[in-house]
Amino acid sequence: MPAAFTIINVLTALHLTLGTVLLYDPNKLITQDALLVFGEAMAMPPVPKSFASGAGLAGLLFLLLAITDILVIISPSNLFQREYWRTQAPFRATFFTVLSGYLFLSKPGYREWKNDFPVRNRLIFTWSFLEFVAWYLVFHGLHEEAKRVQIERKDEPGTMAEDERNYDIKTRPQDLAGF
């Protein structure tokens, strides 16, 4: 699970950074070259001029998300962390998949929509797509880790799986019922 936890730590640091940038200088985020390249490649509309007015609230939400993730990361229970992220990763990946799909399908020129939603821009699309990719990688890493742990437990002596392998088929009660 080190890979999944590394991605979670990077995402948490990214949320903390995004929250801070959106609070103090949202225009710095809008002028990033990577955002321009990704948005132009997907033919997404540019960020509207009115973006800066709602950026403070978005920054606070990113900070809240980062703080809640930090609280889980620093919790002493490793089992709690695993279970928490195993429930959060599929939910977040699904949410960002739906959001990315909606933004892509509602871009100008692809399909005409009655109202112009302010979230249909390259900043929101780029963020939701990258979040989807990251949470999918976390989900996959946690799934692989759970499989590895399950295989390791099967090989431990004294476990149920070991007892089942050593169980003689002729001594099972249902086989003795006919005698």
What is the model's pLDDT at position 106? 78
Are 131 and 96 in contact, with CB atoms under 8 Å apart? yes
Provide the pLDDT for residue 1. Answer: 45
Report pLDDT digits (tens) over 7-47: 999 999 999 999 999 999 888 888 888 888 988 888 888 88
The pLDDT score that the predictor gives to residue 171 is 52
Mean residue pLDDT of the chain comes to: 82
Q: What is the mean pLDDT of residues 45-67?
A: 87
How is the chain split into domains, by residue range?
2-159
Residue 164 has pLDDT above 60, yes or no: no
Q: Is 171 exposed, middle or buried (0-12, 13-18, 19+ CB in 10 A)?
A: exposed
List, for residues 81-124, the tens digit of each pLDDT value: 888 999 999 999 999 999 988 888 877 766 665 556 667 788 88
Give the integer Cα–Cα distance in Å for 114 and 106: 10
